[in-house]
Structure 1
Amino acid sequence: MRNTNDRPAAPNFTQACVVIFGVNLTWILMVIWVVWGLLAVAATGWLVNHVINRIALARG
């Protein structure tokens, strides 16, 4: 059986995840802006902010 203590550490992909989240959020908001207008983008941005704040509060 293989010894599990000799495995290399897993890479940290946190920075890449944050960058890709920003890129995806940007293009999604641009598509919403083109299709439904600036008011829909503002409402979506407010909703995303609200969800992120609730997650932050839940994490303590």
Structure 2
Amino acid sequence: MEGHKLGRAPNFTGACIVMFGVNLGWILLLLFAVYGLVAAIFLGLVVNHWVSWLEHRKQLADQRYGDVSGDT
């Protein structure tokens, strides 16, 4: 074990984004089936607002501290 070198961790960002979409899809379908279209649209709007807010915060942090992630 002493000679075993640690490698880099795999990048699971793409898989995380895909699974977020899959989970959001079944949650919206379940919400639509149980409570109707209005509830599903409302949840979709809330999630859209939340993602936009996160993007705005990331842009502010990139401007303030510079882009250190290297994902330009």
Same fold by TM-score, threshold 0.5 exceeded? Answer: yes
> TM-score, with normalisation over the residues of structure 1?
0.87
Mind listing any 5+ residue stretches in structure 2 that lack a counterpart?
60-72
Question: How far apart in 1 are the matches of 2:18 and 2:58?
Answer: 22
Matched ranges for 1:1-60 at <5 A: 6-60=5-59
Number of residue pairs matched?
57
Moved over 3 A (4+): none
* Bigger RCO (CA 8 Å, 6+ sep): 1
**Identical pairs, percent:** 42
Question: How far apart in 1 are the matches of 2:31 and 2:38?
Answer: 10
Of Structure 1 and Structure 2, which has the larger fraction of its residues in helix?
Answer: 1
> TM-score, with normalisation over the residues of structure 2?
0.74
Counterpart AA for 2:57: A
Mind listing any 5+ residue stretches in structure 1 that lack a counterpart?
none
